[in-house]
């Protein structure tokens, strides 16, 4: 039995259940949402960098790869940002050590790899005795 909210009809609930239950879901580390998002958007004043990070995360997750080659124009289309805003966002991510960017040649499409430093910290903090 479904309890409808004040503004929901049975049709809306059925649509929501059918549409969203068939969608693929992407796992995101809690650190990305709890720490990285407010840090990039608030402290660095670069919400664009966070959008670029999410776009790269999504692409890597879907491809099940550690690196992905994607152009600035493709990132701009995926994030809704301008190409220059994507460039600025990538610059912030590089400066913060959150992404590694490599190029085979100066004119080739960049290859991105996310650096998830919080995983190394978590592994170092694990002592095997329940954290005591």
- Between 114 and 21, name the one with better pLDDT: 114
- The average pLDDT across 56-71 equals 93
Confidence category of residue 131, pLDDT binned at 50, 70, 90: very low
Q: What are the extents of the domains in the chain?
A: 30-125
Give the integer Cα–Cα distance in Å for 86 and 77. Answer: 10
Query: pLDDT exceeding 70 applies to what percent of the chain?
Result: 73
Q: How is residue 111 written in tokens? A: 């290859």
Architecture in CATH of 30-125:
Orthogonal Bundle (1.10)
For residues 42, 101, 26 and 5, what is the CA-based torsion angle, rounded to 10 degrees? 20
Structure tokens at 44: 């660095």
**Mean pLDDT within 30-59:** 93
Please tell me the predicted confidence (pLDDT) of residue 13: 61
CA distances from 47 to 52, 57, 64 (A): 9, 15, 25
Q: Would residue 8 be called left, alpha or beta, if left means φ above 0 and alpha means ψ between -120 and 50 degrees?
A: beta
pLDDT of 31 strictly over 70: yes
Residues 6+ apart with CB under 8 A from 116: 29, 31
Q: 30 — phi, psi (to 5°)?
A: -55, -35
Rounded to 5°, the CA angle 47-56-71 comes to: 100
């Amino acid at each position: 039995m479904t309890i409808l909210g004040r503004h929901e009809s049975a049709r809306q609930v059925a649509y929501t259940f059918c549409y969203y239950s068939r969608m693929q879901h992407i796992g995101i580390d809690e650190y990305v949402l709890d720490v990285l998002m407010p840090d990039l958007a608030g402290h660095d004043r670069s919400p664009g960098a966070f959008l670029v990070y999410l776009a790269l995360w999504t692409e890597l997750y879907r491809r099940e790869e550690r690196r992905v080659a994607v152009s600035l124009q493709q990132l701009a289309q995926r994030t809704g940002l301008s190409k220059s805003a994507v460039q600025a966002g990538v610059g912030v991510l590089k400066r913060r050590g959150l992404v590694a960017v490599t190029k085979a040649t100066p004119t080739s499409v960049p290859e991105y790899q996310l650096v998830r430093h919080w995983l190394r910290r978590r592994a170092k903090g694990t002592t095997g005795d329940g954290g005591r």
